[in-house]
């Protein structure tokens, strides 16, 4: 084996594993890796903040199934990137946080910027470790990739001391990693068919990691053949074409009450892939812990998730893709017995997303108030305007309730939304999406609070020619918290109001196009201009601050 630097071993490992892009904020601790990436082929996106770089890596992992790589430096870089590690964990997204570390000779002295990466990230990541020998880098890196992509995918944090990266080694590369995705046993499928055979009111809950185009197609085939109603877990709306007669809505933070009622009333829940987490289970109330009243089949690739909160009647340790492929290969269970139940669930969904909500009473032009954008109508228009493969990224805030409800996802891998509810995710995720799919339309939707957590990445978008459209939903407040505040402490507003910058001017200052939209009717033309700008573009959507959720006003909350 030729002699090469530790940094080169890192670069070669990325290439060998098909990781064709990485996201960084540079540091002098990992110059050897940067140098090894100098001549390609991995595309290196340099960012303005490590939180954004880490969020980009999360989005890359979710979109490709390969680990998203984020390179940061020592304590300051690693701690700023930590939000991405947390999101990757809650989102089951494969990710590698590579942290340049102080050199071995001074380790443990609290040297300049030193951080015990394994100790800090140990409880947050799937695995965290530190290299101490250049010759063992191939082994360490291969294990990191293996852990990140296998079973329930997740983040791995590795500290790479500066001198380990700079030293040379003749160690040979490891082989490219093949993800380990457990599959379903024939006995599991037999038992599942038995349980379905006894059911009258079955409901599928689909979500979690490991979805592929084929898995999404298999879910559609299986569900439609057996007329199974399919709800999706929190922020997993792209695992089934929302136009399918089987799609009945999402179990999110603002769930359709009729759907929540169906989860309670179901006699068999078939959870295909999701964690049965707090949001998906309506705060652990739609199912009782530890023994749900509904019969439960839980399919999950991570052994630790099975029986963690709920004891299933049938636990299947399988990834969704092999599970659904196996289920598709056996004869479909006839769905005549629950056809009416399934049709009613679909009707509930259609009623929930239509008619589009109007501006809250007291607001809007007709009432003599200022002009505003009706977010529901804007998203409904977008749903029809965007191609099926367009990617929509978002972060956290009440504005996401409109996204989840009024946009319809049609293709697998088109929704990038943090299951951790972390603000600041949308724009970085959109940029990563544009790196992975340069030919697709990519839209980030952000709140005014949310956007400014990673808004500086407009500079990254301009620098790397990542022409995304950012919709900033401006209600002049941290709306979600204001909503909770008005409920708990009516009229006592503190810390939730925002005096915002001039968003279009800010965008223009970064070299992006910027425009404000203050009227629903003006949105379509403004959006088309943004899309055709030939550079990244931001549209500030001025919405009615009174309308705190679709169908709820601040005034009503206070009363």
Ligand X SMILES: Cc1ncc(C[n+]2csc(CCOP(=O)(O)OP(=O)(O)O)c2C)c(N)n1
For ligand X, the closer of residues 152 and 482 by Cβ is 482
Query: 157 touches which of Mg ion, ligand X, none (CB within 5 to 8 A by kind)?
Result: none
Range in contact with Mg ion (rule: CB under 5 A) among 404-412, 477-485, 521-529, 548-556: 477-485
For Mg ion, the closer of residues 299 and 396 by Cβ is 396
For ligand X, the closer of residues 17 and 398 by Cβ is 398
Minimum Å distance from CB 476 to ligand X? 8
Q: Report the alpha-carbon distance of residue 177 to residue 17 in Å, rounded.
A: 6
Closest chain position to ligand X (CB): 447
Minimum Å distance from CB 396 to ligand X? 4
Return the percent helix, strand and coil in the chain, to nearest 5: 40, 20, 40
Q: Report the alpha-carbon distance of residue 389 to residue 148 in Å, rounded.
A: 26
Query: Is residue 67 involved in binding Mg ion (CB under 5 A)?
Result: no
H runs (alpha helix) in 233-385: 257-265, 320-329, 339-352, 375-385
For ligand X, the closer of residues 352 and 425 by Cβ is 425
Query: Is residue 447 involved in binding Mg ion (CB under 5 A)?
Result: yes
Query: 450 touches which of Mg ion, ligand X, none (CB within 5 to 8 A by kind)?
Result: ligand X
Query: Is residue 553 involved in binding Mg ion (CB under 5 A)?
Result: no
In a 13 Å sphere around the CA of 156, the CA atoms on its Cβ side amount to 25
**Axis-axis angle for helices 6-16, 137-149 (nearest 10):** 30
For Mg ion, the closer of residues 348 and 547 by Cβ is 547
- 3-state SS assignment for residue 521: helix
Nearest by Cα to 78 from 124, 32, 14, 16 = 124
Q: Report the alpha-carbon distance of residue 515 to residue 503 in Å, rounded.
A: 8
Provide the b/e sequence for 461-499 (b: ≥16 CB within 10 Å).
bbbbebbbbbbbbbbbbbbbebbebbeeeeeeeeebebe
Q: Which of residues 429-458 bind ligand X (CB under 6 A)?
A: 447-450
- For residues 98 and 72, is the Cβ–Cβ distance under 8 A? yes
Q: Report the alpha-carbon distance of residue 496 to residue 250 in Å, rounded.
A: 28
For ligand X, the closer of residues 5 and 398 by Cβ is 398
Minimum Å distance from CB 197 to Mg ion? 49
Range in contact with Mg ion (rule: CB under 5 A) among 367-375, 439-447, 517-525, 529-537: 439-447
Minimum Å distance from CB 480 to Mg ion? 8
Q: Which of 398, 408, 454, 520 binds ligand X (CB under 6 A)?
A: 398
- 3-state SS assignment for residue 141: helix
Strand-strand pairing, 95-101 and 552-553 = unpaired
Minimum Å distance from CB 452 to ligand X? 8
Q: Which of 102, 423, 436, 444 binds ligand X (CB under 6 A)?
A: 423
For 486, the token pair is 């008005």
Kindly write out the interface string for residues 467-506 of this chain, putting x where it contacts ligand X by CB under 6 A and - elsewhere: ------x-x-xxxxx-------------------------
Distances (CA, A) of 127 to 24, 60, 140, 314, 535: 20, 19, 11, 29, 39
Q: With CB under 6 A as the rule, give the number of residues binding ligand X.
A: 19
Query: Is residue 448 involved in binding Mg ion (CB under 5 A)?
Result: yes
Binding residues vs Mg ion (CB under 5 A): 447-449, 475, 479
Binding residues vs ligand X (CB under 6 A): 396-399, 421-424, 447-450, 473, 475, 477-481
């Amino acid at each position: 084996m030729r002699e090469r630097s530790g940094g080169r071993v890192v670069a070669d490992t990325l290439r060998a594993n098909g990781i064709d892009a990485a996201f960084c904020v540079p540091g002098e601790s990992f110059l050897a890796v940067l140098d090894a990436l100098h001549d390609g082929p991995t595309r290196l996106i340099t960012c303005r903040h490590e939180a954004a770089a880490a969020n980009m890596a999360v989005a890359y992992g979710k979109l490709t199934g390969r680990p998203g790589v984020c390179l940061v430096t020592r304590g300051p870089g690693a701690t700023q990137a930590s939000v991405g590690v947390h999101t990757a964990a809650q989102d089951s997204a494969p990710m590698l946080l590579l942290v340049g570390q102080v050199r071995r000779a001074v380790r443990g002295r609290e040297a300049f910027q030193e951080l015990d990466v394994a100790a800090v990230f140990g409880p947050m990541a799937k695995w965290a470790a530190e290299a101490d020998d250049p010759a063992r880098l191939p082994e360490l890196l291969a294990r990191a990739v293996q852990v990140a992509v296998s079973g329930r995918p997740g983040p791995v944090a590795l500290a790479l001391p500066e001198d380990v990266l700079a030293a040379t080694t003749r160690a040979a590369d490891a082989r490219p990693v093949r993800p380990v995705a457990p599959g379903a046993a024939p006995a599991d499928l037999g038992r599942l068919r038995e349980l379905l055979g006894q059911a009258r009111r079955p409901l599928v809950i689909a979500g979690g990691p490991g979805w592929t185009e084929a898995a999404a197609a298999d879910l559609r085939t299986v569900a439609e053949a057996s007329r199974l109603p399919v709800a999706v877990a929190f922020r997993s709306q792209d695992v089934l074409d929302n136009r399918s007669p089987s799609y009945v809505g999402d179990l999110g933070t603002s769930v359709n009450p009729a759907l929540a009622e169906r989860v309670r009333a179901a006699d068999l829940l078939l959870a295909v892939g999701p964690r049965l987490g707090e949001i998906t289970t309506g705060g652990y109330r739609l199912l009782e812990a530890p023994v749900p009243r509904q019969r439960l089949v839980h399919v999950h690739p991570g052994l630790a998730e099975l029986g963690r909160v709920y004891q299933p009647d049938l636990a299947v340790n399988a990834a969704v893709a092999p599970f659904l492929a196996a289920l598709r290969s056996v004869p479909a269970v006839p769905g005549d017995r629950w056809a009416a139940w399934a049709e009613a669930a679909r009707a509930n969904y259609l009623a929930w997303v239509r008619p589009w909500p109007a501006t809250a009473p007291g607001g809007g032009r007709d009432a003599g108030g200022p002009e505003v954008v009706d977010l529901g109508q804007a998203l409904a228009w977008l749903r029809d305007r965007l191609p099926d493969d367009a990617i929509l990224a978002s972060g956290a805030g009440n504005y996401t309730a409109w996204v989840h409800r009024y946009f319809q996802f049609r293709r697998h891998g088109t929704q990038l939304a943090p299951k951790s509810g972390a603000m600041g995710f949308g724009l970085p995720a959109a940029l990563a999406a544009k790196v992975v799919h340069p030919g697709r339309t990519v839209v980030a939707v952000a709140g005014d609070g949310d956007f400014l957590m990673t808004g500086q990445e407009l500079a990254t978008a301009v620098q790397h020619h990542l022409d995304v459209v950012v919709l900033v939903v401006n209600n002049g407040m941290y709306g979600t918290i204001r909503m909770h505040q008005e409920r708990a402490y009516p009229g006592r507003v503190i810390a939730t109001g925002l005096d915002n910058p001039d968003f279009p001017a800010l965008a223009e200052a970064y070299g992006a196009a910027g425009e404000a939209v203050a009227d629903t009717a003006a949105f379509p033309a403004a959006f088309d201009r943004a899309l055709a700008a030939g550079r990244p573009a931001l549209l500030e959507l001025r919405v009615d601050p009174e309308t705190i959720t679709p169908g709820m006003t601040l005034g009503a909350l206070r009363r």
